[in-house]
A and B are shown apart, each in its own frame.
Chain A
Amino acid sequence: MNGILDFIAGLGRAVLDIVRMAGRVALFAAVALSHVVRPPFYWRTLWGTLVEIGYFSLPVVALTALFSGGVIALQSYTGFAQYHAQNAIAGIVILAVTRELGPVLAGLMVAGRVGAAMSAEIGTMRVTDQIDALSTLSTNPIKYLVTPRLVAGTLALPFLVLVADILGVLGGFTVCVMKLDFSASAYITATIASLKVMDVTVGLVKAAIFGFLIALMGCYHGYHSRGGAEGVGAATTAAVVAASILLLTFDYLLTDVFFSQ
Chain B
Amino acid sequence: MTDTIPKIRIRGLKKAFGPKVVLDGVDLDVMGGTSFVVIGGSGTGKSVLLRCILGLITPDAGSIEIDGVDVTTLSPRQREPYMARIGMLFQNGALFDSLSVWENVTFGLIAAARAGHGPRITRAQARERAGALLEQVGMDPAVGALSPSELSGGMQKRVGLARAIAARPEILFFDEPTTGLDPIMGAVIDGLIVDCVRRLGSTAIAITHDMASAQRIGDQVGMLYEGRMIWQGSPSTLFDSGNPVVDQFTHGRREGPIKVDVRS
CB atoms of A135 and B96 under 8 A apart: no
B248 located at the interface, meaning its Cβ lies under 8 Å from any Cβ of chain A in the complex: no
Q: Which residue of A lies closest to B81 (CB)?
A: A138
**Cα distance A114–B162 in the bound complex, in angstroms:** 33
Distance in angstroms between the alpha carbons of A68 and B27 in the assembled complex: 67
Question: Which residues of A sit under 8 angstroms from B114, Cβ to Cβ?
Answer: 39-40
Most chain B C-beta atoms within 10 Å of own C-beta, residue among A40, A129, A135: A129
Q: How large is the interface on B (under 10, 10 to 19, 20 to 34, 35 or more residues)?
A: 20 to 34
Given contacts A40-B114, A40-B115, A132-B51, is CB(A137)–CB(B108) below 8 Å?
yes
Q: How long is the Cα–Cα vector from A234 to B108 in the complex, in angstroms?
A: 31
Q: Given the interface contacts A128-B92, A130-B96, does A136 sit within 8 Å of B117 by beta carbon?
A: no
Q: Are the CB atoms of A136 and B87 closer together than 8 Å?
A: yes
Chain B residues near A125 (CB-CB < 8 A): 96-97
- Is A139 in contact with chain B by the CB < 8 A criterion? yes
Is B107 an interface residue when CB atoms closer than 8 A count as contact? yes
In contact, A137 and B92 (Cβ under 8 angstroms): no
Q: A81 at the A/B interface (Cβ < 8 Å)? A: no
Q: Please pick, from A39, A121, A130, A136, the residue contacting B86 in the complex, using a CB distance under 8 A.
A: A136
Question: Is A229 among interface residues, defined by CB-CB distance under 8 A?
Answer: no
The bracket for how many chain A residues form the interface is 10 to 19
Contact of B88 among A39, A121, A136 (CB under 8 A): A136
A138 touches B94 (CB 8 A): no
- A38 CB to nearest B CB, Å: 11
A15 at the B interface (CB under 8 A): no
Q: Report B's interface with A, CB cutoff 8 A.
A: 51, 54-56, 80, 83-84, 86-88, 90-92, 94-98, 107-108, 111-112, 114-115, 117-118, 163
Q: What are 24 A-B interface contacts by the 8 Å CB criterion?
A: A40-B114, A125-B96, A129-B91, A129-B94, A130-B96, A132-B56, A132-B90, A132-B94, A133-B88, A133-B94, A133-B96, A135-B54, A135-B83, A136-B54, A136-B56, A136-B83, A137-B111, A137-B163, A138-B83, A138-B84, A138-B108, A138-B117, A138-B118, A139-B108
With A125-B96, A125-B97 given, name 6 new contacts (CB 8 A). Answer: A128-B94, A133-B96, A136-B87, A136-B88, A138-B108, A139-B107
* Interface residues in chain A, defined as those with a beta carbon under 8 Å from any beta carbon in chain B: 39-40, 121, 124-125, 128-130, 132-133, 135-139
